[in-house]
Amino acid sequence: MTIAAKAYKFSEIIADPVIGARWEKVRRYFFLRESTYDMSNRCNIRCEGCYYFTGDKQFAEENRDAQAWRQLLEAEKARGITFVVLAGAEPSLVPELCAACHEVIPLGAIASNGLKKIPPAIAYRIHISVWGNDQTSLAIRKAPDMLYRQIENYQDDARAVFVYTFTPINIDEAREVTELLARHGLKITFNMFSAPVGYSGPLRHNAETLARTEQVMTALLAEFPETVLFSHYNIMAHTRRQGLHELFSCSYPRMNPSTDIGLGRSFRQYRTNLQWDRDAACCVPDTDCDDCRHYAAGSAVVTARMYRHATDPLTFSAWLDYVDTYLAVWVKGYAKGANLCAVPVAPPPNHEPLPR
């Protein structure tokens, strides 16, 4: 949809009571400052196209000393980190380290394949990765009965959000997975396969698969509004021919040389040896930045671009839907509201991308 050129003041936009209420709802979470942590260099499955097992981070030595992790998180907290993302390779294999992190910084999320249940005392959001139906998962992830086991582990667990990664070969399976999760009262959100550096296999999206994914996401969002945590603007931002960096200029250190403020200043991506490298720091290291449409990247990159979306009520509503979705997906206990914007809105023009 093309937006009319009337110039709105920000105060006019948020004077709308519905927009104003949503603005006040989301801005209470502007204090969130994230960093991410690789918890283990082991995984109990091996998926095609896994970004963790690309590049050299997989070879970092594991630090399995809970006290060392606690000290790291204390230092992170002291420098202003309020939200942790525990990821790669498989955090559920080291629950004692996840618990140590949770004791220090109580807000966060864990990216897991869901095959080993994370103890309930670790009250983070838990993102359970789904790459299609069980037949496709067996082929791509070499693990049988994944959905069955994931659901068994996380049925009635308010921490759980299932993250369906769209690849060119599982687009049409998203419906049966969403239906299944809906029947179990579980939540799902959507991710886009984003190719690791050097990957040229069959999971890399193309123009046709992006368009088909957009159609399926739109249909599922309409049919399963209580199950699907997503918005029309999420769909627009993540299924364009251009990746997130081209659309929004990625603000993670890997692509953003500025250390003035925001992610470029505060974000770190720690490896299993508790070291980090600014040149590699982003939420999905070793992903091909030109192909990055990853949900975790968008959650930070699109959200950070508030200023450019405050042009008119429709565009700002679309951005608010995105932020509301981001918070519902990442923050345990945050309840997603109904989407304000029922039509697709094109992302505002981007500035010149930051130099690499």
Partner 1 sequence: MTRDINQTIIRIAEIIINTLKLEDVTPQAFDADLDLVDEVGVDSMDLATIALVLRDEYGIRIDEDYYPKLTTVRIIAEYISNKLTSGE
Helix (H, G, I), strand (E, B) or coil at 29: coil
**Only segment of 9-17, 42-50, 185-193, 232-240 that touches partner 1 (CB under 8 A):** 9-17
Residue 271 contacts residue 57 (beta carbons within 8 Å): yes
For position 215 contacting partner 1 by CB under 8 A, the verdict is no
Residue 162 contacts residue 186 (beta carbons within 8 Å): yes
Min. distance of Cβ 16 from partner 1 in angstroms? 15
Residue among 159 and 309 whose Cβ is closer to partner 1: 309
Which residues have CB under 8 Å from 175's CB, separation 6+? Answer: 216, 219, 220
Tokens of 122: 């670790």
- The candidate with the shortest Cα–Cα distance to 47, out of 114, 95, 118, is 114
For position 5 contacting partner 1 by CB under 8 A, the verdict is no
Tokens of 190: 């959507």
**Only segment of 94-102, 107-115, 163-171, 305-313 that touches partner 1 (CB under 8 A):** 305-313
Alpha-helical (H) ranges within 224-342 are 232-238, 244-248, 263-266, 295-304, 306-309, 313-330
For position 258 contacting partner 1 by CB under 8 A, the verdict is yes
Among 207, 260, 279, 335, binds partner 1 (CB under 8 A): 260
Min. distance of Cβ 327 from partner 1 in angstroms? 12
For position 66 contacting partner 1 by CB under 8 A, the verdict is no
Residue 179 contacts residue 272 (beta carbons within 8 Å): no
CA distance 168 to 186: 24
CA distance 334 to 356: 35
Q: How many residues bind partner 1 (CB under 8 A)?
A: 22
Among 43, 296, 310, 328, binds partner 1 (CB under 8 A): 310
Min. distance of Cβ 1 from partner 1 in angstroms? 22
Which of left, alpha, beta for 155 (phi over 0: left; psi -120 to 50: alpha)? Answer: beta
For position 6 contacting partner 1 by CB under 8 A, the verdict is no
Residue among 23 and 124 whose Cβ is closer to partner 1: 23
Residue among 25 and 149 whose Cβ is closer to partner 1: 25
Residue 232 contacts residue 318 (beta carbons within 8 Å): yes
For position 356 contacting partner 1 by CB under 8 A, the verdict is no
Among 104, 105, 123, 304, binds partner 1 (CB under 8 A): 304
Among 73, 128, 263, 281, binds partner 1 (CB under 8 A): 263
Residue 60 contacts residue 41 (beta carbons within 8 Å): yes
Residue 191 contacts residue 156 (beta carbons within 8 Å): no
Min. distance of Cβ 135 from partner 1 in angstroms? 43
For position 278 contacting partner 1 by CB under 8 A, the verdict is no
Q: Euclidean distance between the first and final Cα of the chain, in Å? A: 32
For position 268 contacting partner 1 by CB under 8 A, the verdict is no
For position 25 contacting partner 1 by CB under 8 A, the verdict is no
**Only segment of 26-34, 92-100, 130-138, 200-208 that touches partner 1 (CB under 8 A):** 26-34
The neighbouring-strand residues paired with 165 are: 191
Min. distance of Cβ 317 from partner 1 in angstroms? 15
Q: Which stretches of the chain bind partner 1, using CB under 8 A?
A: 9-11, 27, 30-31, 33, 249, 258, 260-263, 265, 304-308, 310, 351, 354
